[in-house]
Amino acid sequence: MIVDAWIQHPTLRLAADPMFEPLRRWNRRSVPTADLPLPATLAALRQGGVTRALTSARTVHAGAPISNDFNAQARALLQTGNATRVYRLDPA
């Protein structure tokens, strides 16, 4: 069993954050204009042999680019009919 202790499905807001500008320059990529589809994250988990994963909201200096509500929706979509189990951590 492979467990990913902290998956982050990148929302458009997170991916466009200026903190990733050096990474985009290094990889010669521009700011995304559309959200990454959730099935792409699931495919990456499967390719890596991940059978359990934990996701949580992400809060940074400018707010929550990955909210608890988004995580709940993403988890529900990723769980449907898939062998990889995704668990959600809600901060208290």
pLDDT per position as a tens digit, 9-18: 778 887 888 8
Would residue 40 be called left, alpha or beta, if left means φ above 0 and alpha means ψ between -120 and 50 degrees? Answer: alpha
92 has pLDDT over 50: no
Higher pLDDT, 70 or 21: 21
Higher pLDDT, 3 or 22: 22
Predicted TM-score (pTM) above 0.85:
no
Tens digits of per-residue pLDDT, 20-34? Answer: 899 899 999 998 899
Higher pLDDT, 2 or 86: 2
**Residues with Cβ within 8 Å of residue 22, at least 6 apart in sequence:** none
Q: Which amino acid is at 76?
A: A
